[in-house]
Amino acid sequence: MSPPIDFSLRRRTLLAGTAAAAAFSAVNRGGAAAQSTGATAGPETTTVTLSVNGEERELTVDNRTTLLDALREHLQLTGTKKGCDHGQCGACTCTVNGERINSCLSLAVMHDGDEVETIEGIGQPESMDPMQAAFVEHDGFQCGYCTPGQIQSARKVIEEIRAGIPSHVTGDLTAEIAITDAEIRERMSGNICRCGAYANILAAITQVAEESA
Ligand code: FES
Ligand code: FES
């Protein structure tokens, strides 16, 4: 009779095996890619022209630069915030050609000729946009880090509802969409507020929607 099989696996053995497999895989992938494409390295930088807040801005960026970093690091427009840098928090929301996007998920080189609007272009302390004023009036922030993204999204949420674009919570797709708490909450769900100012943010957006009806 054969001896019982020992299924116990020592942690060190597992880690060593996993590392070796990963290294082998990486080497193989690199080799295969080089063989199959025969690609040569392209230019590492690109010059793009963006219209930012109505002003034409030309900049030369590393091709890997996100739109968010181009705005913050190249153009010193630091109102657009970097929260997660992974498309999960909405702090980096700005508008491109009139649509809200997460600028951390988009490369600057993809936006040559595009119109970008950041929080700086929406209003200034002495001449605030109605949504900015409503956030102030309703205390729609605490630390304020998420606020530029919240305001950018909030303005677009009202436009999107009025344009008849349905959301996950829209009931009747044939009727005019009402600007309800549920619609606003759903459409703002990509903008995270770690301070939890959601109730006040909702109040601010509702006020602007009612005043602009
Ligand atoms: S920084 Fe872009 S979604 Fe968080
Ligand atoms: S106000 Fe602090 S994260 Fe929203």
Q: Is the CB of 151 under 6 A from ligand 2?
A: no
Q: Where are the domains of the chain?
A: 45-121, 123-211
Q: 166 or 42: whose pLDDT is higher?
A: 166
Q: Which of 84, 147, 150, 153 to mutate to test the pocket of ligand 1 (most atoms within 8 A of CB)?
A: 84
DSSP for the chain, please give it: -PPPP-----HHHHHHHHHHHHHHHHHHHHHHHHHHH------SEEEEEEEETTEEEEEEEETT-BHHHIIIIIS--TTS--SSSSSSS-TTEEEETTEEEEGGGSBGGGGTT-EEE-HHHH-BTTB--HHHHHHHHTT--SS-SSHHHHHHHHHHHHHHHHTT---TT---TTSPPP--HHHHHHHTTTS--TT--HHHHHHHHHHHHHHT-
CATH 3.10.20.30 fits 45-121, yes or no: yes
Q: Is the CB of 91 under 6 A from ligand 1?
A: yes
Q: What is the mean pLDDT of residues 134-139?
A: 98
Per-residue pLDDT for 181 more than 90? yes
Average confidence score pLDDT of the chain: 88
β-pair type (115-117, 45-52): parallel
Q: Which of 66, 72, 81, 88 to mutate to test the pocket of ligand 1 (most atoms within 8 A of CB)?
A: 88
Closest atom of ligand 1 relative to the 92 alpha carbon: 2
Q: Is the CB of 158 under 6 A from ligand 2?
A: no
pLDDT tens-digit series, residues 74-125: 999 999 999 999 999 999 999 999 999 999 999 999 999 999 999 999 999 9
112 neighbors 96 (Cβ within 8 angstroms): no
Q: Any idea which of 14-23, 52-61, 161-170, 204-213 has the lowest mean pLDDT?
A: 14-23
What confidence tier does 43 reach under pLDDT thresholds 50, 70, 90? confident
Rg (CA), the chain: 24
Per-residue pLDDT for 153 more than 50? yes
Q: What does CATH list as the number for 123-211? A: 1.10.150.120
